[in-house]
């Protein structure tokens, strides 16, 4: 109990950091291809992770943990960054942030599948209502909405939810920040090769906003945010601190409007509120 407040504070800081991921990715894809952005951010974060693991003399994970680490790497190191980068070529970051409201639900769903839990029937009612709300919003939203971008965002949320659920189980044995660090190390060889193969033909035309976006998603979204996030889960509890993810769409919408000048329509805010309400109800009965 005495560690609950530090846990909630650390988790909240992690959510705030993650909230800048989509606006930063939106900036980065203005100068880099999605494949290079995904691989470069993973390589940069992996180099930092290797340094942390070496300086703090962390032991290697057990062989039995490698499959789960591979799932974490595929979900949060490769899948979510790549799919969101591809999606943000078709939709605005403000539009895509609405889908992040489904992330706690996706994490809970994979927790059910992986952990064999049996939630109450009301859980599925809220889950279906939230999914229907997002689908309706995606189909009727004007402007930069696109079915292709929306499907990519749904896939990104599923990949991230799987990575979160798998990482939560691993963190009980390896420690929070160690999970993302070893996942980055595991993904480093293929990501390094991909970065070399997809490097821009020229660097001079890449503007400062794209470089700033790459720096943010590499250092903060890919590594630092997970340090605070997993620390919060460890100190305050996964079920409790995990609720802080519900605040991420609001932080993200604010950042998209403030930093990118993207319009945040009342309908978009209403959809986010509806999604958050459905997710909160689903988590209550999980």
- Going 56 to 170 to 161 to 74, the CA torsion angle's sign is positive
pLDDT tens for 49-66 read: 999 999 988 888 989 999
Q: What does the pLDDT average to over 165-188?
A: 87
Of residues 17 and 135, the one with the higher pLDDT is 17
Whole-model pTM? 0.82
User: In terms of residue numbers, what domain contains 61?
Assistant: 4-197+209-284
> Does residue 227 fall inside a structural domain?
yes
From the DSSP assignment, how many helices (H) and strands (E) are in the chain? 15, 0
What is the C-alpha separation between 204 and 222, in angstroms, rounded? 26
> Does residue 204 fall inside a structural domain?
no
Instruction: Provide the number of structural domains found in the chain.
Output: 1
pLDDT tens for 184-195 read: 999 999 999 999
Q: Is the pLDDT reported for residue 1 higher than 50?
A: no
pLDDT tens for 110-130 read: 877 775 667 778 877 887 887
Q: Is the pLDDT reported for residue 160 higher than 60?
A: yes
pLDDT tens for 232-267 read: 877 776 666 777 777 777 777 777 777 767 676 777
What is the C-alpha separation between 193 and 89, in angstroms, rounded? 23
Q: By percentage, how much of the chain surpasses pLDDT 70?
A: 90
> Does residue 135 fall inside a structural domain?
yes
**Confidence (pLDDT) at 231:** 78
Q: What does the pLDDT average to over 127-137?
A: 78
> Does residue 191 fall inside a structural domain?
yes
> Does residue 202 fall inside a structural domain?
no
How far is C-alpha 174 from the chain's CA centre?
20
pLDDT tens for 266-282 read: 777 787 788 888 777 77
Q: Is 162 exposed, middle or buried (0-12, 13-18, 19+ CB in 10 A)?
A: buried
> Does residue 203 fall inside a structural domain?
no
Q: What does the pLDDT average to over 187-212?
A: 93
Q: Is the pLDDT reported for residue 211 higher than 60?
A: yes
Q: By percentage, how much of the chain surpasses pLDDT 90?
A: 34
Task: Provide the pLDDT confidence category of residue 2 given band limits of 50, 70 and 90.
Answer: very low
Q: Is the pLDDT reported for residue 107 higher than 90?
A: no
**Confidence (pLDDT) at 208:** 94
**Confidence (pLDDT) at 142:** 53
**What does the block give as tokens for 96?**
């895509």
Range of weakest confidence among 169-183, 186-200, 210-224: 169-183
**Confidence (pLDDT) at 69:** 94
Task: Provide the pLDDT confidence category of residue 164 given band limits of 50, 70 and 90.
Answer: confident
What is the C-alpha separation between 278 and 32, in angstroms, rounded? 36
Give per-residue burial for 25-57: e unless 16+ CB within 10 Å, then b.
Answer: bbbbbebbbbebbbbbbbbbbbebbeeebeeee
Task: Provide the pLDDT confidence category of residue 103 given band limits of 50, 70 and 90.
Answer: confident
CA distances from 73 to 47, 78, 82, 199, 281 (A): 15, 6, 12, 22, 29
What is the C-alpha separation between 229 and 209, in angstroms, rounded? 26
> Does residue 106 fall inside a structural domain?
yes
> Does residue 31 fall inside a structural domain?
yes
């Amino acid at each position: 109990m005495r560690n609950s407040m530090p846990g909630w504070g650390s988790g909240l800081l992690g959510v705030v950091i993650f909230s800048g991921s989509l606006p930063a990715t939106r900036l980065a894809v203005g100068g880099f291809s999605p494949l290079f952005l995904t691989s470069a951010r993973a390589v940069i974060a992996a180099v930092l992770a290797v340094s942390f693991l070496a300086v703090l003399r962390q032991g290697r994970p057990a062989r039995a943990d490698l499959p789960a680490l591979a799932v974490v790497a595929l979900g949060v190191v490769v899948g979510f960054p790549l799919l969101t980068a591809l999606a943000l070529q078709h939709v605005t970051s403000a539009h895509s942030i609405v889908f992040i409201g489904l992330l706690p639900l996706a994490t809970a769903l994979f927790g059910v599948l992986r952990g064999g839990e049996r939630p109450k029937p009301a859980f599925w009612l809220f889950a279906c209502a939230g999914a229907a709300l997002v689908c309706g919003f995606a189909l009727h939203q004007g402007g930069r909405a696109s079915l292709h971008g929306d499907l990519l965002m749904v896939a990104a949320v599923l990949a991230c939810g799987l990575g979160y659920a798998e990482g939560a189980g691993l963190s009980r044995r390896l420690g929070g920040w160690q999970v993302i660090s070893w996942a980055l190390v595991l993904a480093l060889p293929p990501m390094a090769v991909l970065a070399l193969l997809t490097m821009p033909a020229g660097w001079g035309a890449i503007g400062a906003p794209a470089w700033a976006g790459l720096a943010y998603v590499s250092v903060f979204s890919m590594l630092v945010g997970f340090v605070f996030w997993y620390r919060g889960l460890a100190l305050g509890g996964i079920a409790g601190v995990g609720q802080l993810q519900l605040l991420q769409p609001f932080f993200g919408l604010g950042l998209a409007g403030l930093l990118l000048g993207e319009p945040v329509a009342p309908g978009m805010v209403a959809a986010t509120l509806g999604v958050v309400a459905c997710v909160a109800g689903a988590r209550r009965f999980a």
